[in-house]
Amino acid sequence: MSSTPPRKIRVVINRGGGSFGDDKASQLEGLFEARGIDAEIMAVEPGELDRHCGEAAKAHGVDALVAAGGDGTIGTAAAAVAGTEMPLGILPLGTLNHFARDAGIPLDLEEAVAAIAGGKTRPVDVAEVNGRLFINNSAVGLYPRLVRDREAQQRHLGRPKKRAMAVAALRTLWRFSHHRLTIRVEGREAAIETPLLFIGNNRYEMGLMSLGKREAIDGGELCLYAPLARTAARFVWISMRAVFGREDEVDDFVMLDGFQAVEIRSKYARLMVATDGEAQSIETPLKYKLRAGALKLFVPSPSPDGEGDHA
């Protein structure tokens, strides 16, 4: 862990983020100014995030890029600075904030600003599929279809994200389908049939009380989960058994971890793939790889008793 407090930063806010408001930019400017940091605040539309984050990463005299938004915004910013010396700061303004939680970033805005001002950074892992970076996870099968349905409801019907997600989940199960895929890891391969293949940046917990969480985001590994179900009822049954810690009793649930690269092949030239909750069509084979320690992330300073030293 290193410590260099930033003097000048560029803050990119996603206008489409879950907690964005018209007063957010002025609030952030005041919080950073109070800590002696010159913050250039830019509130941009979702479609402009790539360009603005890329420009910030190359801007002369800028000490750090700060992403204000949800996981999609943070992932875009991470892609701009991963593999460079520029650190990334996180202001969790999304709906779920998975990455911020796993990294130990405070969800309180003032505390998150304090973590950036403190200057403590540590290297954390990111992953990519066919060159597209992600910070949390990627999926093939039912989940990308669910994401597309949810986005369509939000765009055309104006439904809140959580309600749209619930409706999309029910419809996705109703239109259940599965894929025949070939997994190749460390020179070995196996063919599977699954409705959902999940790849995580580091290992995800499956237990009921810790579902969707990671103990570390710097463990240097990928994980893979895939239920081998051919019907919606079987998929739900297998998934519930895994959540309640009984997956070791089930022969039709693939779970792998501790690897750094995996290749997924399909009979189709392209597959719908979700990365950090955003779906897109990607050419096959899907080549996943871990980029260990590629992201320099601002984190809270550890307290004397060790609390706050996460990830």
- At 208 the pLDDT is 47
Length of the chain: 311
- At 25 the pLDDT is 77
Helix axes 49-58, 71-81, angle to 10 degrees: 40
User: Cα dist. 118→31, 114, 174 in Å?
Assistant: 13, 6, 50
Residue 160 to residue 224: CA distance in whole angstroms = 30
Dmax over Cα atoms in the chain, in whole Å? 58
On whether the CB atoms of residues 20 and 14 are closer than 8 A, the answer is: yes
Residue 86 to residue 60: CA distance in whole angstroms = 11
* Beta strand spans in 130-244 (E): 132-134, 137-141, 179-185, 188-194, 196-201, 222-227
- At 283 the pLDDT is 97
- At 236 the pLDDT is 83
Cis preceding linkage at 285, omega within 30: yes
In a domain, 151, yes or no: yes
Which residues span the domain enclosing 192? 133-291
- At 19 the pLDDT is 54
pLDDT per position in the chain (311 positions), as tens? 667 889 999 999 988 655 555 577 788 889 999 999 999 999 898 889 999 999 999 999 999 999 999 898 999 999 999 999 999 999 998 878 999 999 999 999 999 999 999 999 999 999 999 999 999 999 999 888 888 888 888 888 888 888 888 888 888 888 888 889 999 998 899 999 999 999 999 999 876 444 678 989 999 999 999 988 888 888 888 777 776 666 555 567 888 999 999 999 999 999 999 999 889 999 999 999 999 999 999 999 876 555 555 55
In a domain, 53, yes or no: yes
Q: Which of 127, 123, 51 minimizes the C-alpha distance to 88?
A: 123
In a domain, 162, yes or no: yes
In a domain, 310, yes or no: no
* Same domain assignment for residues 106 and 52: yes
In a domain, 301, yes or no: no
The set of residues, in sequence order, having a beta carbon less than 8 Å from that of 4 and lying 6+ positions away, is 63, 119, 121
For the stretch 218-262, pLDDT in tens is: 999 999 999 888 888 888 887 777 766 665 555 678 889 999 999
Q: Does the predicted TM-score (pTM) go above 0.85? A: yes
On whether the CB atoms of residues 244 and 208 are closer than 8 A, the answer is: yes
**CATH code of residue 266:** 2.60.200.40
On whether the CB atoms of residues 201 and 125 are closer than 8 A, the answer is: yes
* Same domain assignment for residues 95 and 138: no
| CA 85 and chain centroid, separation | 21
* Same domain assignment for residues 110 and 73: yes
In a domain, 283, yes or no: yes
DSSP state of 135: S
Q: Which of 87, 100, 91 minimizes the C-alpha distance to 68?
A: 91
For the stretch 23-68, pLDDT in tens is: 777 888 899 999 999 999 998 988 899 999 999 999 999 999 999 9
State the Cα angle at 127 between 105 and 296, rounded to 5°.
45
